[in-house]
Structure 1
Amino acid sequence: MQKGTVYRSTGSWYDVKLEGGDFIKARIQGKFRNLSIRTTNPVSVGDEVDVLMNDNDEAVIKNIHPRKNYIIRKSVNLSKEAHIIASNLDLAILLVTVVNPLTSPGFIDRFTVTAEAYNIPLLIVFNKVEIYDSKALAKLQQLEKSYSNASYQTMRMSVLENIGTEDLKKKIQNKSVLVSGNSGAGKSTLINNLIPNLKLKVGKISETHNTGKHTTTFAEMFDYNSHTKIIDTPGIKGFGLVDFDKEELATFFPEMLSMLKHCRFHNCKHINEPGCKVLEQLKSNNFSNTRYQSYLAMYKEDGDSNYRKNNFL
């Protein structure tokens, strides 16, 4: 058997880069499809796998190595299942735009919670700063303060005007990096800037809805250099949470985590309980109300929209 890394998944076939540098197309062994896991894709981009040539001279994935982490969301097509976007990540970059299109704070917070839950370092990149007027800049500053207070690394960027690009290149060196965000946030443009010969298709913004159009169908990994990999992902409109208990939710908000031990009750839900340190800090404007509203929205989701725990690879 040969060891390799999955670079692209199209559902039935996988592009695998072998340790020697050659690419092959492989399929998965039937037993993977029958595992009692509620994911649409037992193999994801970033997976380290063992590949064997069968009697028909076809490459078959026989084994998936344990993942150090992965980022997961609700499946688009199957409401009861989940989709692993990518695995074995050193960094996730979330591209955020204040206008054209607007990235909602709720979407950002769902992504941050998922990154926290699966131990994925996160960099929030505010893109398209070249088009921001005074109102948009004020909103940007508010978001920067909110996420900096939550201990997240943030930076400003204009891919089109090459603002922040060199700084970003330093941050991604020697890492496996996922690039995500809403459709139209500039993912493909950014990756084309970093790896010019790719020439990824770039979508246009809908003038009617001020939203982006999908240009990427499947997640795909590219080599930035011999030690750095970049994963392009489909544009995401919503980000459903998967695989955690409601009682854990507050621990995935870093700024809330430090307050929890000061609540009067150890099982405080931080909604209307007396002696809640989170509510106290909220009233004192020491905790972002927008972030808190995201917490409430996620906490109040029912079991169908916010999955209970399953066994994931």
Structure 2
Amino acid sequence: MQATVYKSTGSWYTVKTADGETFQARMKGIFKKNDDITSTNPIAVGDQIAIEADDSDANAKNAMITDILPRTNYIVRASPHGKNKKHIVAANLDQAVLVCTVKEPRTSQGFIDRFLVTAAAYHIPVILVFNKKDIYRDKELEKFEAIEALYTGIGYKVLLVSAKNGDGIDEVTELLKDKTTLMSGHSGVGKSSLINALMPGLELKTKAVSGWSGKGLHTTTFAEMHDLPFGGRLIDTPGVREFGIVDIPKTELSHYFLEMQPFITQCQFNNCLHLNEPGCAVKDAVEEGIIDPDRYVSYATILDSIEEETY
């Protein structure tokens, strides 16, 4: 029997079959010992799996996971349990939504760029959704417009919404319809409030941003998938403060900065890292204003972090 993983709490998984039957499932021990699985979680939300129902208790609706089916894609980040370990955030995605904010708390460009790089490496399109429009004044709106111009110029979809008063929710709904979407972002950006706006009646718990630190408080503990009432599925993930990059070699990083792609083949050296090498077309594009200098700084910063994580 085939099913989809809707929630993972470590040792137990909530899974749902095509006809809507839900089971609480456990892994066979063989998966835990499989040397090919290098992530901290061999099974992720969104995975397609094979299960065998446990008939010993008809009321319990328990099952055993007997196989993990091949993934079309997945997205990973450095595990919070160790810098050299990786954690699969979700699998079998059509797209990802990164929820951002200009204030309370401010989402840094470095965080956005790390997420975009990781998604690009796994061929997952990203939509940037800036929440909390209702608290933005002229200063914040100017910041948003600059960010919007930067990322739409690269090719990303950027939206400004308010989960609180419903502004822009219809447009988000259209983008999510009939697709499997990962939703991520810093703690406190309003992911839970946004999901509640998209799915009235779900009533996910929300918390205010911590006043003394300006940092968001975690409200989601485990990744969980929800069936959207208008079609499609949405994977809610715990808020993250950092998005550690794994499995991307230094020489490949520039390939995942979309605006750098046209210039990479024009560099004098095939293994150009676009730092101090002569004849670098990427650095020329930065100096000519074709590539945004702040994005180049993000690139150099991420490149340096990959060096640190490698050794």
Pairwise mapping of residues 26-175 of structure 1 onto structure 2 (< 5 A)?
26-36=25-35, 37-53=37-53, 58-175=62-179
Compared with structure 1, are the counterparts of its residues 131 and 227 closer, same or farther at alpha carbon in structure 2 (3 Å cutoff)?
closer
8 A contact 1:159–1:190 mirrored in 2: yes
SS of the residue corresponding to residue 263 of structure 1 reads coil
| Counterpart-to-counterpart distance in 1, 2:280 and 2:227 | 48
Q: Is 1:275 equivalent to 2:279 in the alignment?
A: yes
Q: Which moved more, 1:231-240 or 1:122-131?
A: 122-131
Q: Which moved more, 1:42-51 or 1:69-78?
A: 69-78
| Counterpart-to-counterpart distance in 2, 1:237 and 1:248 | 25
Which residue in the other structure is 1:242 paired with? 246
| Counterpart-to-counterpart distance in 1, 2:306 and 2:276 | 19
Q: Which moved more, 1:145-154 or 1:230-239?
A: 145-154
Corresponding residue to 1:177 among 174, 181, 184: 181
| Counterpart-to-counterpart distance in 1, 2:273 and 2:99 | 31
Compared with structure 1, are the counterparts of its residues 226 and 139 closer, same or farther at alpha carbon in structure 2 (3 Å cutoff)?
closer
Give the TM-score normalised by the residue count of structure 1.
0.94
| Counterpart-to-counterpart distance in 2, 1:96 and 1:251 | 24
Q: Which runs of 5+ in 1 are unaligned?
A: 308-313
Quote how far apart the aligned CAs of 1:49 are.
0.5
For the aligned residues, what is the CA RMSD? Answer: 1.6
How many residues get paired?
306
Q: Is 1:19 equivalent to 2:23 in the alignment?
A: no
| Counterpart-to-counterpart distance in 1, 2:310 and 2:66 | 32
| Counterpart-to-counterpart distance in 1, 2:124 and 2:207 | 28
State the one-letter code of the partner of 1:10: T
Fraction of identical pairs, as percent: 44
Quote how far apart the aligned CAs of 1:56 are.
5.2
Alpha-carbon displacement from aligned partner over 1:259-290 (angstroms, at most 9, x marks no partner): 11222222211101122111112112221111
Quote how far apart the aligned CAs of 1:304 are.
5.7
Q: Which runs of 5+ in 2 are unaligned?
A: none
Alpha-carbon displacement from aligned partner over 1:122-147 (angstroms, at most 9, x marks no partner): 10111112212222222212211211
Q: Which moved more, 1:289-298 or 1:51-60?
A: 51-60
State the one-letter code of the partner of 1:168: V
SS of the residue corresponding to residue 222 of structure 2 reads coil
| Counterpart-to-counterpart distance in 2, 1:201 and 1:220 | 14
**Runs of 4+ in structure 1 displaced over 6 angstroms?**
none
| Counterpart-to-counterpart distance in 1, 2:277 and 2:115 | 27
